[in-house]
Amino acid sequence: MSNEGYLPLETGFATLAIHAHQSPDQWNSGAVVTPIFTAATYKLDGSDHSTGFQYGRWGNPTRNNLEGCLAAIENGKHALTFATGCAATWSMLSILKNGDHLLCAFDVYGGTLHLMKMVAEEKGIDLEFFDAGNLNEFEKLLKPNTRMVWFEITTNPMCKVVDAKRLAEISHKRPGVLVVTDNTFMSPYFLKPLNLGVDIVMHSMSKYLNGHSDVIMGLLVLNDDNVHIKLRDIQHHGGAVPGPFDCYLALRGLKTLAIRMKQHMANGIQLANHLKKNPRIEQVFHPGEKLIKIDHHIN
């Protein structure tokens, strides 16, 4: 879905998060907020008046607007939303087959680890863990049958920062390897992994993207058309899609993402510096002020 000329060619992050794929003229109503479309079925008459929608599991106008906005702020071509972050992860793993080699950083979200072990056992996937902080050793783990590398750019919960660009470059020395990263902790406001050579970006939207602790949702963003077709098919037939009201809430949350992330970072640095001075605190885990510049221009 295009922006229909609504946004200027040069648009800043905050403006994209508020307006991308949400033209007031889209529904012939002038509404500046995307409506909640609760329809499960749509009129099919084969004429030029057809909306292009068929069934709620296959597509929903509110969800489509959300996915278009998310693709825009991650600088990606395709975005797919899911009922949960784990559903997004499961869908990504579903493109692997028996005998494929999956490399996963060991310092990732516990739910991801559990899901990967479960899927690997059921499908006969060769699952191996690696230290994302030691990329020289990581390169030695790549095999001819390696099909996917999974890591978190800022790990959960230790906040270790991974050199995503170098990891992607090493991984792509092997043909057919998909590099997937969980960008939940950074959000696209601070980092866009697709710009660094990562193939697919995953988010738990329940955290920063929605931002109000009232939505459970997952996200995948990518540029590859062929992989997108596979994932969209899994999304359609797997059925783990978010409801229109949750999509509406997520669109609402995105409108304040830029200003929230800037304040989150400022607050986090202040708290980290305060804790460092406390003699009862042995170690503070924080990515550091030098890593992320918080003087973004808010459009």
Q: What is the pLDDT of residues 168-227, one digit of tens each?
A: 999 999 999 999 999 999 999 999 999 999 999 999 999 999 999 999 999 999 999 999
Domain that residue 149 falls in: 13-254
Residue 290 lies in a domain: no
The answer to whether 43 is a known catalytic residue is no
Residue 261 lies in a domain: no
Enter the tokens of residue 139.
Answer: 């390169």
Q: Which of 207, 230, 232, 255 is the catalytic position? A: 207
Question: What pLDDT shows up at residue 289?
Answer: 55
CB atoms within 10 A of CB 199: 20
Q: Which of 6, 42, 57, 123 is the catalytic position? A: 57
Residue 39 lies in a domain: yes
The answer to whether 232 is a known catalytic residue is no
How do the pLDDT tens digits run along the chain, 299 residues long? 444 445 655 678 998 898 888 888 787 778 888 999 999 998 877 655 456 788 999 999 999 999 999 999 999 999 999 999 999 999 999 999 999 999 999 999 999 999 999 999 999 999 999 999 899 999 999 999 999 999 999 988 888 889 999 999 999 999 999 999 999 999 999 999 999 999 999 999 999 999 999 999 999 999 999 999 999 999 999 999 999 999 999 999 999 999 999 999 999 989 999 999 999 999 998 887 555 444 443 33
Handedness of CA 172, 89, 92, 3 (dihedral sign): negative
The answer to whether 207 is a known catalytic residue is yes
Please name which of 53, 50, 86, 65 lies closest in space to residue 3, comparing C-alpha atoms.
65
Residue 3 lies in a domain: no
CATH of the domain at 173: 3.40.640.10
Query: pTM of the predicted model, to two decimals?
Result: 0.90
Q: Which of 100, 107, 182, 199 is the catalytic position? A: 182
Residue 263 lies in a domain: no
Domain count for the chain: 1
Q: Which of 100, 109, 199, 262 is the catalytic position? A: 109
152 three-class SS:
strand
